[in-house]
C-alpha cells in the first residue's frame, strides 16, 4: 500500500507532457522481442475533440449534440527509416493505436494507457513488418526509404476557444412554412480540435484547429414526381464568419425561389457541347480533379500475387502536362486567415508554400513523411491519419490562368462554340455539388458506362444566344477525368477563397460535410470545349395530400 | 441468431400532451385518405419513442464527459389488403432487397405541430406506397408457390386500449450527477489497483423512454419506461493470452433502488477477486457430463434453448426450424417443470425486472402466459400475428424503435413443483458423477450471455457463455475454479436431461437481440441439475500479455 501511494505521488508530481515523453522513451528503449525488429520511432497524439452540432427541420429541433472526447493515439515504427513496417498493404494488424480517455485523466492514467497502446502498436508493427519483409524477399522494387527525415520542431499555438451553442440559430433559420417542401433542414456544427504531438524524435507541437459549417438543405417535388434538391452552405474558421442571420435568411429565400424555378424547369436529358463553370463552380471542379495530380504520397505497395496483380501506381507525376497553356497552381498553407492555414502539419513538419503546377506542367508535389521515389523531404502537408497512414493533402490552393477574360466575353465564346456543336444553348454551371454533399453511389463494373468523374451540377442554366437563361434540372456529367483540364479554352474572373472540409485524396471517401480537415480554394471561371451530360425525370407521387 | 447480452424518483408532470394530440391528428388525417384509396389500407399504427439517456462513465479515477442525449423516433406500420392476407405476408424466395414491411423516421425533439405533421405525413405516404407495391408482388408470389403450411391470417384484431399513464420527469439533477460521478470515481480507483488490471471502469446508465402507441382501431396509450443500470467492468489477460473480463451490474426502476456505497464497494471487491481468481484458474478441456446450472445460468439457458422457440412467429415462418410448432399438448420438459412469461411483473424477490412492461409495442396488454404446465407445452408468446391454434395476441409483440414487431419474451419464469435444497442438488451431482463414471462434474456459477440458432439453414443449437465454472469432484475434494469453456448443445436433447431443481431462484436481467432488435428481458430460474451437458473451448485471443513491465506510476 505504501509502495502504491509512493508511485501515485510520483506520477502526480509530473505533468502530462513529461509523463508522455518519458513513457515514449521507456518504450523506445525497452520494447522488443528476441529476433524481432525493435521500435525506432514512436509518436503520441493527445487530441481533445469538441463538437457542438444542431439540426432543425421545418423549424423544429431534431438533434442538439454537445460532445467532448479526449483521445490518445500512438504511432509506432519498427526496423529503420530505410525499411520499416509502413507503406505496405498486408494483413489486418495495425501499428497505429488509440483509446478514449477521461477528461480529467491523471498523468498516471496517461502513462498506463500509453504503455498498453505502445504494446499493442508494437505487436501490430511486428506483424506489419513481417508481411512486408516476406513480400519484398523476392522483390527489388523497394525505393530505399520508408520515413522521410525532418527538422525537429517545437511549437505551441494552442488557443482557448469556447464553442457556441448554435441550436437556437438553426431552429430560427428553418422556421419556414413546410408547405410545398419535401424537406427543409438547417444543420450547423462548430468544432475544435486541440492536438498535442510528441515523438521520440523530440517533436513537440501543440495547436488548435477550428472550423464551423452551416448547411441549408431543401427538397421540393416536381409535377412528374422528381425531387429537386438545393443546398446552401458556409464553411468558415468560426461562426462569426458566417453571414448575418438576415443574410442567411435571404439565401434561403433565394434557394426557395431557385427550387420553385427548378420545379418548372426542363430536364437536361442529353447534352454534348461546351460547358461554362462560374467561379465558385470552377473552384469545386478543380478541387475534385486536381488533388490526385498534386499530392505526392503514393498508394501503399502490395505483395505480388498469383493473379498477376501489381502494386497500385501513384496518379501524380512530375513533368506531366495538366493544362494546355501556362496555368499555375500553388498551395499556400502559410497564407494567413484561410481555413487551410497552418504552421506545422500532423507530423510536426513546418508547412511550405509551394508552386505545384508551373506553366501547365506538374512542377512539384505535396509530401508528407511518406516517401516517394525522387522526393527526399516532407513539404509539411501530412494531415490526419491518427489511425491510418498520414498522407499529403492540399491546404490553400490557388489556381491561376495564363489570361483572364471578362465573363461577357466568355459567355459569347461559349454560345458560339455551342452553336458550332449544333446546340441552341450552352450549359452554365453556377454551383457544382461539393463532394461531401454528393449522394451518388457509383460502382463501376467491367463493361458498364464510364463513371461520371465529377459531382452533379447543383445549379445549372441554359444560356441562349439572346442572353436569356433557363434553369435546367437532373443533368449529370459523364466520363470526366483529369484530361478534361486540357480542354479548358478560356478563363474568367477569380473566385474568392472558398472554404471546404476535405480529406486526403483516396479511392474511397465517406461523404460527410462535417468531418475532415479545412482547405480553401480559389480558381477562375472556366469554359470547357466539350462535356457530356445526361439526365432523367420521374419519381413517385404522393398518395396522401400535404397537411394544410 | 439471437443473442442475449449483459449490459431517483421523479414527480409526475402534468404537461400538456401536445405530442399525443399532434400524432393523433395526423393519424386521423392519414386514415381518412388511406382508407379511401382504391386499394385501401385497413390498419395503420404509429408508435413514438421519446428517449432520454444519461451516461456517467469513469475509469481509473477519471471521469468522461457525461453523455446526455434526447431522440425521438416514430415507427409506422401500414397494412394494405385484409387481415387474412396483407402486405406483411412472407414474400417467399424473394430477393434480399425486397420492399420494406416496416417504416420509421426521426422526429423533432420539440412538440412543434407543423414540423411533426409534415414529417409524419411523408413517412405515412412512403409507407403506403411501399406497402402497395409489396402487396402487388405478394399476390403473384402467392399464386406461383405451394400453400403455406400454416394458413392462419396475417393479423388479428385487438380491442382499442386507452390509457394515458403519467410521465415522470426523470433526469439526474446537477447535484445527483456530481454525487454519482464522485462516487463512481472513488470506486474506480480501488477497482483499477494492480498492474494486472489492464482496463476497468464503472458506469451509470439512466434511460427514460416515453412511448406513445396509437392505431386506427382507436388505441391511445402513453407509457414510460425508466431504467437505471450501474455496472462494474474489469479486464485482464492470462499468461496463455486469454482475455478475461468480468462484468457485474444492478438494474433498477428508480434511483433509490441503486446499490449503496457499501454495496458498490462489495461489487468492486468481488469483481476484482473473481478476475484474479480466473486469471490464475486452469483451462478446462472439452467435456460431456453432469452439471449444475446456478439460477442465473439456468435462466439464460432456458431463455436460449426454450424461450426463443416459443416465440409465436417462429412457428409460422417456413425459414424457421419450428422445433416446437407441432408439440402443443406434448411433454417437452420433465413434468416437474412449468414455464410462464409474465411481463406485467415489475419485481421478483425484491429484484427489479428488466422485462417488465404494461403494454407491448402493438398496444396489447402484457399478459401472464402459461407456456409449459407440468412439462406439457400449452402456448406460445404471441404478437398480433396469429399462428394455427393461437389467433390472438397475448401482449408479447415487441421491438426496438426502427424494427418490425415480432413475438418476444418479457419475463420468462421457470418454476419447479418438486425441489431440493442447493446442498442436496450438489449431492445429486456428485452421485451422478459417480454413476456416469466421470472424473468430475461442472457447476456453472455465472454467465455473461448466450445465443441460439433457430433457422433451418443452420443446425438448431445454442451456446451459453459462462464466466465462472467450477469443477466438482465426487470425492471429498474442494471445488476448483476453471475457465475457457462455453456451454453448447441442441434444444430437444437438452430438454429431456433436466433432472432436479433447487428451491431458490435467481434473476438474470439482460438485453436480448433478435430480428426486431434489442429489447430488455428477464429470466428467472432455480438452480438445475442437468444429466449431461457439453462444453467446448472458448474463442481466445492469442496476443502476449504486455511485453514490458508497467510504468512506475502504475505499479
Model ipTM value: 0.90
Chain B from 122 to 181: CB within 8 A of any A CB: 122, 124-125, 128-129, 132
How far is B155 from chain A, CA to nearest CA, in Å? 24
Q: Which residues of B touch A7 (CB under 8 A)?
A: 552-555
Structural domain including A50 reads 16-214
Q: Is B195 inside any structural domain?
A: yes
| Residue B378, burial from CB neighbour count under 10 angstroms (0-12, 13-18, 19+) | middle
The pLDDT of residue B318: 77
**A101 chain-B contacts, CB cut-off 8 A:** 59, 62
Residue B326 sits at the chain A interface (C-beta within 8 Å): no
Does a structural domain hold residue A3? no
Ranges A253-257, A415-419, A427-431, B537-541: which has the least confidence: B537-541
Among the listed ranges A47-61, A300-314, B22-36, B271-285, which one has the minimum average pLDDT value? A300-314
Tell me which of A102, A108, A227, A540 to substitute to probe the interface with B (most B C-beta atoms closer than 10 Å).
A102
Determine the pLDDT at residue A435. 82
Tell me: pLDDT of B45 over 50: yes
Same-domain check for residues B409 and B443? yes
Residue B555 lies in a domain: no
Domain membership of residue A269 (yes or no) is yes
* A144 lies within 8 A of chain B by CB: no
Residue A351 has pLDDT above 80, yes or no: yes
Asked if residue A6 belongs to a domain, the reply is no
What residue of B is the nearest CA neighbor of A55?
A: B108
- Which of A169-178, A395-404, B164-173 shows the lowest mean pLDDT across its residues? A169-178
Confidence of residue B460 (pLDDT cuts 50, 70, 90): confident
Cα B359 to Cα B162: distance, rounded to the nearest angstrom:
11
Subunit contact A61:B122, Cβ cutoff 8 A:
no
Q: Which three cell numbers stand for residue A433?
A: 455539388
Is residue B347 domain-shared with residue B265, that is, in the same domain? no
The answer to whether residue A71 neighbours chain B at the CB level (below 8 Å) is no
Size of interface A-B (CB pairs under 8 A): 147
Q: Does any CB of chain A come closer than 8 Å to the CB of residue B29?
A: yes
Q: Is A69's Cβ below 8 Å from some Cβ in B? A: yes
Question: Is position A540 within any domain?
Answer: no
pLDDT at B554 over 80: no
pLDDT tier for residue B495 given thresholds of 50, 70 and 90: confident
Tell me, yes or no, whether B553 lies in a domain: no
Amino acid B208: pLDDT: 96
Contact A112 B125 (CB under 8 A): no
Domain co-membership, A34 together with A121 = yes
Are B156 and B103 found together in one domain?
A: yes
Q: Does A34 touch chain B (CB under 8 A)?
A: no
Does B227 score more than 60 pLDDT?
yes
**What pLDDT is recorded for position B8?**
36
**Helix-, strand-, coil-residue percentages of chain B, each rounded to 5:** 25, 40, 40
Of B33, B60, B112, the CB nearest to A109: B60
Chain B CB within 8 Å of residue A29 CB: no
Q: Do A8 and B553 touch (CB under 8 A)?
A: yes
Asked if A7 lies within 8 A of B115 by C-beta distance, the reply is no
More confident of the two residues B165 and B9:
B165
Measured between CB atoms, does A182 come within 8 Å of chain B? yes
Give A-chain residues touching B32 at CB under 8 angstroms.
none
Q: Domain check: are A283 and A431 in the same one?
A: yes
Does B459 have pLDDT greater than 80? no
Mutate to test the interface with B, among A543, A546, A548 (most CBs of B within 10 A): A543
Look at residue B112 and tell me if it is in a domain. yes
Instruction: Report the number of distinct structural domains present in chain A.
Output: 2
Chain B residue closest in CA terms to A177:
B114
A260 touches chain B (CB under 8 A): no
> Is B544 part of any domain?
no
What's the CA angle centered on B238, arms A77 and A97, to 5 degrees? 25
Interval A85-108 mean pLDDT: 92
Angle between helices B261-280 and B174-192 (to 10 degrees): 30
Question: Are B187 and B268 a contacting pair, CB within 8 Å?
Answer: yes
In this predicted structure, the answer to whether residue A415 has a pLDDT above a threshold of 60 is yes
For B107, nearest residue in chain A (alpha carbons): A62
Range of the domain at B344: 287-537
Res. A212 pLDDT band, cuts 50 70 90: very high
pLDDT band, residue B79 (cuts 50/70/90): very high
Low-confidence winner among A35-39, A234-238, B40-44, B535-539 (lowest mean pLDDT): B535-539
| Contact predicate A106/A12, CB 8 Å | yes
Best probe of the B interface among A121, A220, A547, A548, by most B CBs < 10 A, is A547
Q: How far is it, in rounded angstroms, from Cα A20 to Cα A1? A: 25
What is the tens place of the pLDDT at every residue in B264-285?
999 999 999 999 999 999 998 8
Report the CATH number that the domain containing residue B121 is assigned in CATH: 3.30.2290.10
Q: Determine how many CB atoms are found less than 10 A away from the CB of residue A63.
A: 19
Residue B97 confidence (pLDDT): 61
pLDDT (mean) for A359-382:
96
- Whether residues A177 and B121 touch (CB distance < 8 A) is answered with no
Chain A residues with CB inside 8 Å of B116's CB?
60
Q: Is residue B116 part of a domain?
A: yes
* Dist. CA B312–CA B395, nearest whole Å: 11
Q: Tell me whether residue B194 is in a domain.
A: yes
Chain A hits for B34, Cβ within 8 Å: 543-544
Closest residue of chain A to B105, computed from CA coordinates = A62
HEC profile of B82-120: ECCEECCCCCCCCCCCCCCCCEEEECCCCCCHHHHHHHH
Of A10, A58, A67, the CB nearest to B553: A10
Pairwise CB contact (< 8 Å): B108 & A62: yes
Domain assignment present for A323 = no
Instruction: Give the burial string for A504-521 (b: 16+ CB within 10 Å, else e).
Output: bbeeeeeeebbebbbbbb
DSSP-H helix ranges across B255-391: 261-280, 295-305
Query: Which among B71, B119, B554 has CB closest to A57?
Result: B119
Give percent of chain A with pLDDT exceeding 90.
76
Confidence of residue A445 (pLDDT cuts 50, 70, 90): very low
> Are A92 and A185 in a shared domain?
yes
Residues A272 and A146 in one domain: no
Q: What is the mean pLDDT of residues B383-405?
A: 96
Q: Is the pLDDT of residue B399 over 50?
A: yes
Q: Are residues A51 and A176 in the same domain?
A: yes
Which of these three, B215, B248, B280, is where a domain ends? B280
* Domain assignment present for A359: no
**Range with the largest mean pLDDT of A475-484, B6-15, B141-150, B207-216:** B207-216
Instruction: Provide the Cα torsion B357, B363, B367, B373; round to 10°.
Output: -110
**Cβ separation of B115 and A58 shorter than 8 Å?**
yes
Q: Are residues B175 and B321 in the same domain?
A: no
Minimal CA separation from B122 to chain A, in Å: 8
The residues with which B199 forms a beta bridge, in sequence order, are B235
Which of B62, B553, B554 best probes binding to A when mutated, by most A CB atoms within 10 angstroms? B553
> Does B199 share its domain with B305?
no
Is A82 touching B (CB cutoff 8 A)? no
CB A44 within 8 A of CB A76: no
Same domain, B318 and B269: no
pLDDT of residue A442: 52
Residues A126 and A30 placed together within one structural domain of the fold: yes
The pLDDT confidence band at residue A457, using thresholds 50, 70 and 90, is: very high
A150-206 tens-digit pLDDT: 999 999 988 888 888 888 888 888 877 778 899 999 999 999 999 999 999 999 999
Q: What is the pLDDT of residue B320?
A: 76
Contact state of A547 with B29 under an 8 Å Cβ cutoff = yes
Nearest residue of chain A to residue B122 (CA atoms): A182
Contact residues, chain A, for B119 at CB < 8 Å: 57-58
Mark whether B179 and B220 lie in a shared domain. Answer: yes
Q: What pLDDT is attached to residue A155?
A: 93
| B545 within domain boundaries | no
Q: Indicate whether B273 and B294 sit together in one domain.
A: no
The per-residue pLDDT of chain A, averaged, comes to 91
B417 and B451 housed in the same domain: yes
Q: Is the pLDDT of residue B427 over 70?
A: yes
Average pLDDT value for residue range B139-144: 91
Q: Considering its fold, how many domains does chain B have in total?
A: 2
Same domain, A269 and A164: no
Least confident of A25-34, A88-97, A183-192: A88-97
Residue B183 and residue B94 share a domain: yes
Instruction: DSSP letter for B139, please.
Output: H
A223 in any annotated domain: no
> What is the average pLDDT across B107-112?
95
Candidate from A23, A119, A543 with C-beta closest to B37: A543
Min Cα separation B412/chain A (Å): 37
Contacts of B193 in chain A (CB under 8 A): 4
CA distance A332 to chain B (A): 37
Per the prediction, chain B carries an average pLDDT of 92
Cβ A19 vs Cβ A107: under 8 Å: yes
Give the range among A310-314, A348-352, B159-163, B228-232 with minimum mean pLDDT: A310-314
Same domain? B294 vs B254: no
Residue B149 pLDDT level (bands cut at 50, 70, 90) = confident
Asked if pLDDT for residue A3 goes beyond 50, the answer is no
Q: Give the model's pLDDT for residue B6.
A: 44
* Same domain membership, residue A192 and residue A57: yes
Of residues B487 and A121, which shows the higher confidence score? A121
Q: Do B129 and A543 touch (CB under 8 A)?
A: yes
Which residues of A fall within a CB distance of 8 Å from B67? Answer: 67
**Chain A closest CA to B39's CA: distance in Å?**
11
For residue B16, the model assigns a pLDDT of 59
Q: Per mean pLDDT, which range of A341-345, A387-391, B551-555 is the poorest?
A: B551-555
Touching check for A235 and chain B: CB below 8 Å?
A: no
Same-domain pairing of B79 and B135:
yes
Restricting to A residues 9-28, those with a Cβ less than 8 Å away from any Cβ of B are: 10-11, 19, 23, 26-27
Residue A38 lies in a domain: yes
Contact A60 B112 (CB under 8 A): yes
Q: The CATH number of the domain where A143 resides is what?
A: 3.30.2290
The pLDDT, as a whole number, for residue A308 is 63
User: Which single residue is written with the C-alpha cell 433436466?
Assistant: B498
Interface contact A57, partner B, CB < 8 A: yes
Q: Are residues A45 and A165 in the same domain?
A: yes
Which residues, in sequence order, are CB contacts of A483 under 8 Å at separation 6+? none
Please tell me which of the candidates A10, A19, A102 has its beta carbon nearest to residue B62. Answer: A102
Domain shared by A522 and A417, yes or no: yes
Residue B241 forms contact with A (CB below 8 Å): no
Q: What angle do CA B20, B22, B24 make, to 5 degrees?
A: 65
Res A2: pLDDT: 40
Asked if A122 and A265 sit in the same domain, the reply is no
Which pLDDT value is given to residue A40?
A: 98
Dihedral of the CA atoms A103, B62, B199, B206 (nearest 10)? Answer: -90
Amino acid at each position: 500500500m505504501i509502495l502504491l501511494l509512493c508511485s501515485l505521488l510520483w506520477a502526480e508530481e509530473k505533468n502530462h507532457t513529461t509523463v508522455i515523453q518519458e513513457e515514449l522513451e521507456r518504450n523506445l528503449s525497452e520494447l522488443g522481442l528476441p529476433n524481432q525488429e525493435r521500435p525506432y520511432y514512436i509518436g503520441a497524439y493527445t487530441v481533445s475533440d469538441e463538437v457542438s452540432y444542431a439540426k432543425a427541420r421545418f423549424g423544429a429541433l431534431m438533434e442538439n449534440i454537445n460532445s467532448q472526447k479526449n483521445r490518445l493515439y500512438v504511432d509506432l515504427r519498427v526496423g529503420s527509416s530505410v525499411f520499416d513496417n509502413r507503406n505496405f498493404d498486408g494483413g489486418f494488424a495495425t501499428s497505429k493505436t488509440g483509446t478514449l480517455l477521461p477528461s480529467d485523466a491523471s498523468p498516471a492514467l496517461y502513462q498506463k494507457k500509453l504503455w498498453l497502446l505502445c504494446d499493442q502498436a508494437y505487436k501490430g508493427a511486428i506483424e506489419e513488418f513481417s508481411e512486408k519483409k516476406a513480400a519484398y524477399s523476392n522483390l527489388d522494387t523497394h525505393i530505399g526509404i520508408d520515413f522521410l527525415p525532418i527538422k525537429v520542431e517545437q511549437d505551441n499555438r494552442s488557443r482557448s476557444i469556447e464553442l457556441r451553442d448554435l441550436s437556437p440559430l438553426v431552429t430560427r433559420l428553418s422556421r419556414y412554412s413546410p408547405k410545398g417542401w419535401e424537406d427543409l433542414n438547417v444543420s450547423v456544427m462548430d468544432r475544435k480540435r486541440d492536438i498535442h504531438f510528441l515523438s521520440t524524435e523530440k517533436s513537440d507541437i501543440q495547436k488548435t484547429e477550428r472550423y464551423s459549417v452551416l448547411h441549408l438543405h431543401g427538397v421540393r417535388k416536381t409535377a412528374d414526381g422528381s425531387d429537386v434538391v438545393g443546398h446552401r452552405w458556409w464553411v468558415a474558421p468560426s461562426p462569426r464568419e458566417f453571414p448575418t442571420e438576415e443574410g442567411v435568411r435571404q439565401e434561403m429565400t433565394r434557394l426557395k425561389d431557385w427550387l420553385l424555378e427548378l420545379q418548372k424547369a426542363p430536364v437536361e436529358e442529353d447534352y454534348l457541347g461546351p460547358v461554362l463553370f462560374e467561379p465558385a463552380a470552377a473552384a469545386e471542379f478543380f478541387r475534385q480533379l486536381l488533388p490526385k495530380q498534386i499530392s505526392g504520397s503514393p498508394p501503399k505497395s502490395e505483395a505480388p500475387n498469383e493473379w498477376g496483380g501489381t502494386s497500385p501506381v501513384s496518379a501524380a507525376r512530375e513533368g506531366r502536362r495538366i493544362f494546355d497553356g501556362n496555368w499555375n497552381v500553388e498551395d499556400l498553407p502559410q497564407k494567413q486567415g484561410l481555413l487551410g492555414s497552418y504552421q506545422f502539419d500532423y507530423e510536426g513538419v513546418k508547412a511550405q508554400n509551394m508552386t505545384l503546377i508551373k506553366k501547365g506542367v506538374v512542377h512539384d508535389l505535396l509530401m508528407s513523411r511518406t516517401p516517394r521515389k525522387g522526393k527526399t523531404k516532407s513539404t509539411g502537408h501530412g494531415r490526419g491519419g491518427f489511425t491510418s497512414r498520414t498522407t499529403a493533402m492540399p491546404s490553400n490552393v490557388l489556381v491561376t490562368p495564363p489570361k483572364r477574360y471578362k465573363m461577357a466575353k466568355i459567355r459569347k465564346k461559349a454560345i458560339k462554340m455551342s452553336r458550332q456543336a449544333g446546340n441552341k444553348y450552352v450549359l452554365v454551371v453556377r454551383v457544382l455539388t461539393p463532394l461531401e454533399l454528393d449522394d451518388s453511389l457509383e460502382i463501376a463494373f467491367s463493361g458498364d458506362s464510364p463513371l461520371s468523374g465529377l459531382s452533379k451540377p447543383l445549379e445549372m442554366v441554359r444560356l441562349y444566344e439572346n442572353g436569356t437563361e433557363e434553369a435546367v434540372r437532373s443533368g449529370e456529367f459523364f466520363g470526366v477525368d483529369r484530361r478534361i483540364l486540357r480542354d479548358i479554352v478560356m478563363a474568367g474572373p477569380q473566385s474568392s477563397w472558398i472554404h471546404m472540409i476535405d480529406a486526403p485524396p483516396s479511392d474511397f471517401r465517406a461523404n460527410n460535410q462535417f468531418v475532415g480537415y479545412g482547405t480553401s480554394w480559389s480558381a477562375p471561371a472556366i469554359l470547357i470545349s466539350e462535356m457530356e451530360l445526361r439526365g432523367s425525370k420521374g419519381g413517385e407521387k404522393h398518395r396522401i395530400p400535404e397537411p394544410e | 441468431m439471437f443473442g442475449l447480452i449483459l449490459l431517483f424518483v421523479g414527480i409526475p408532470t402534468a404537461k400538456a400532451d401536445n405530442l399525443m394530440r399532434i400524432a393523433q391528428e395526423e393519424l386521423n388525417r392519414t386514415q381518412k385518405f388511406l382508407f379511401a384509396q382504391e386499394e385501401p389500407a385497413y390498419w395503420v399504427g404509429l408508435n413514438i419513442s421519446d428517449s432520454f439517456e444519461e451516461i456517467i462513465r469513469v475509469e481509473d479515477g477519471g471521469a468522461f464527459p457525461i453523455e446526455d442525449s434526447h431522440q425521438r423516433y416514430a415507427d409506422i406500420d401500414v397494412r394494405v389488403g385484409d387481415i387474412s392476407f396483407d402486405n406483411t405476408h412472407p414474400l417467399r424466395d424473394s430477393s434480399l432487397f425486397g420492399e420494406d414491411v416496416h417504416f420509421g423516421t426521426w422526429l423533432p425533439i420539440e412538440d412543434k405541430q407543423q414540423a411533426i405533421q409534415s414529417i409524419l405525413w411523408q413517412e405515412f405516404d412512403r409507407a403506403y406506397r411501399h406497402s402497395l407495391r409489396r402487396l402487388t408482388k405478394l399476390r403473384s408470389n402467392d399464386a406461383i408457390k405451394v400453400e403455406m403450411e400454416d394458413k392462419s391470417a396475417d393479423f388479428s384484431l385487438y380491442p382499442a386500449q386507452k390509457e394515458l399513464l403519467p410521465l415522470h420527469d426523470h433526469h439526474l439533477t446537477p447535484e445527483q450527477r456530481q454525487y454519482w460521478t464522485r462516487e463512481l470515481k472513488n470506486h474506480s480507483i480501488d477497482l483499477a489497483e494492480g498492474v494486472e488490471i489492464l482496463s476497468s471502469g464503472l458506469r451509470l446508465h439512466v434511460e427514460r423512454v416515453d412511448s406513445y402507441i396509437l392505431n386506427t382501431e382507436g388505441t391511445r396509450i402513453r407509457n414510460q419506461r425508466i431504467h437505471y443500470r450501474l455496472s462494474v467492468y474489469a479486464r485482464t489477460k492470462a499468461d496463455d493470452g486469454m482475455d478475461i473480463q468480468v462484468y457485474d451490474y444492478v438494474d433498477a426502476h428508480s434511483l433509490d433502488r441503486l446499490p449503496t456505497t457499501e454495496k458498490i464497494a462489495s461489487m468492486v471487491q468481488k469483481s476484482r477477486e473473481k478476475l484474479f481468481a480466473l486469471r490464475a484458474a486452469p483451462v478446462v478441456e472439452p467435456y460431456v457430463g453432469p452439471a449444475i446450472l446456478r439460477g442465473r445460468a439456468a435462466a439464460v439457458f432456458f431463455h436460449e434453448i426454450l424461450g426463443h422457440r416459443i416465440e409465436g412467429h417462429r412457428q409460422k415462418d417456413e425459414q424457421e426450424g419450428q422445433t416446437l410448432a407441432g408439440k402443443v399438448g406434448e411433454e417437452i420438459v420433465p413434468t416437474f417443470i412449468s414455464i410462464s412469461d409474465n411481463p406485467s411483473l415489475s419485481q421478483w424477490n425484491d429484484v427489479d425486472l428488466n422485462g417488465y412492461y404494461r403494454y407491448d409495442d402493438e398496444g396489447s396488454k402484457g399478459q401472464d402466459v402459461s407456456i409449459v404446465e407440468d412439462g406439457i407445452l400449452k402456448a406460445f408468446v404471441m404478437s398480433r400475428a396469429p399462428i394455427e391454434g393461437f389467433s390472438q395476441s397475448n401482449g408479447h409483440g415487441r421491438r426496438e424503435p426502427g424494427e418490425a414487431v415480432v413475438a418476444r419474451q418479457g419475463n420468462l419464469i421457470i418454476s419447479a413443483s418438486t425441489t431440493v435444497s442447493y446442498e442436496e442438488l450438489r449431492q445429486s451431482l456428485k452421485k451422478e458423477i459417480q454413476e456416469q463414471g466421470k472424473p468430475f462434474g461442472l457447476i456453472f456459477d455465472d454467465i455473461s450471455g448466450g445465443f441460439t440458432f433457430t433457422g433451418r439453414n443452420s443446425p438448431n443449437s445454442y451456446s451459453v457463455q459462462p464466466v465462472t465454472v467450477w469443477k466438482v469432484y465426487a470425492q471429498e475434494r474442494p471445488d476448483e475454479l476453471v475457465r475457457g469453456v462455453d456451454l453448447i448443445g441442441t434444444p430437444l436433447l437438452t430438454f429431456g436431461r433436466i433432472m432436479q431443481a433447487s428451491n431458490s431462484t435467481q434473476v438474470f436481467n439482460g438485453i436480448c437481440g433478435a430480428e426486431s432488435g434489442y429489447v430488455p428481458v428477464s429470466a428467472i430460474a432455480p438452480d438445475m441439475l442437468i444429466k449431461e451437458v457439453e462444453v467446448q473451448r472458448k474463442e481466445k485471443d492469442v496476443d502476449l500479455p504486455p511485453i514490458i513491465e508497467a510504468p512506475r506510476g502504475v505499479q
